[in-house]
Structure 1
């Protein structure tokens, strides 16, 4: 295991989450753009040097944190597409969690204005209420979610609504 890489991933993920908590509390997102850009540039370099930071390389927590940084690299869709491909291979090899692949796949689809597959992405509607982005073949949603180790769509929706009302 590469402990230095895992430690840097942890530091960056902590920073990522701290700035997002501050943004929810204060409404200010100035630091978010800077931190996401810095983390994205660093992640690109880490991938170029080490390949995808999977479980063997950085441990389970580090693999989770690698995905988190990629998930928040919305300003760099090329990187997200690259990571999506790397995650597919990593999941097949047992080096990443299937749920990470589901979340990133939906994120990339939503950015392309296409229906998501796993129902993981929400936005605020015009009324300020949380709403699910469109989903392809919604009648099969729970089966697809289960295949990726995700809870039912109804349970996820309840959890997201709880988080939304707690943030108010």
Structure 2
């Protein structure tokens, strides 16, 4: 699960690299042809395959990773996670470069992946050594340009600039709550609200994965402004699921529910209470089993496994300040 700082780091990297100008090297996207929405059982099976692929990759069992991720290529969850590209990487690492090259020719590959990074991906070194790589790379570049031609690049760049401003203002407000800084912060959020009113949810098809992540970085960090959180979440719920990262959706849903004084739905929000101690905020599910089954539909690991991952990532770290105060309509 990505936090707002991680999301913003992606956007800031693009902003610094392009000067917030449209750049052909930036991956764009359009909604891929989406298979029928799976039922709960099918969604859980897809989620299990995703978790199996990730575990295999971590264990360097690249053949098993390719098999598990490959089973997702034509599924909704697989499209959301760019399964074709990940499968190609696993195949290449397993020594099956020719099969990897064929997968990279699929038209959805540039949807969530900046093509220039494919040309430098260490996992694909043996693929780039093949005679057919040069032509495949040209095809990827052409597809990327085709997708980008259908984007609103001005809106993407403006969202990135707004996300940069949001990050800077929240940093300043953490130590100096002046009236002028408060005004600038609220005006920036007002722009987001107006943009959502006019455009609806500006998904990956319209602003690309980086623009979409930049917008989520603003929304994830909001304090107060329940109206804006509700507006954004309602639009996400109505949008095609291919228009955003599913992990962003479940985390933003939980943050919004907790901020309203309700129980979270997916169990993605934990309080860092002490060194190596994390406590999950209350959830709607009546049992851990029911919660884990729901999480599985979105490719999320069991909640206890996720808790252990949080502990590992923050081993020995002290909690940084007070926990998030949910159900508090306060300003920064």
Task: Report the TM-score range of the alignment, normalised by the length of the smaller protein.
Answer: 0.7 to 0.9
Query: If the length of structure 2 is used for normalisation, what is the TM-score?
Result: 0.42
Deviations 1:4-30 (A, max 9, x none): 11112222323444566x58xxx6364
User: 1:108 aligned to 235, 252, 256, which one?
Assistant: 256
The count of corresponding residues between Structure 1 and Structure 2 is 162
Q: CA RMSD in A?
A: 3.0
* 1:13 aligned residue: 163
Segments of structure 1 that go 5 or more residues without pairing to the other structure are none
Query: If the length of structure 1 is used for normalisation, what is the TM-score?
Result: 0.76
Q: Which has the larger radius of gyration?
A: 2
* 2:119 aligned residue: none
Segments of structure 2 that go 5 or more residues without pairing to the other structure are 1-150, 321-332
Deviations 1:106-144 (A, max 9, x none): 11211222221111123354x686432112223222222
* 1:28 aligned residue: 175
Q: Which structure is richer in relative contact order (CA contacts within 8 A, separation 6 or more)? A: 2
Pair 79,19 (structure 1): closer, same or farther in 2 beyond 3 Å: closer
* 1:68 aligned residue: 217
- Contact 1:74 1:80 (8 Å CA) reproduced: no
Deviations 1:79-119 (A, max 9, x none): 21121111012244x21222222112111211222221111
* Structure in which a larger fraction of residues adopt helix: 1
The alignment partner of 2:279 has SS state of strand
The alignment partner of 1:60 has SS state of helix
User: 1:123 aligned to 268, 271, 274, which one?
Assistant: 271
Q: How does 1:1-168 map to 2 (within 5 A)?
A: 1-17=151-167, 28=175, 30=177, 36-92=185-241, 94-125=242-273, 130-137=278-285, 138-161=288-311, 162-163=313-314, 165=317
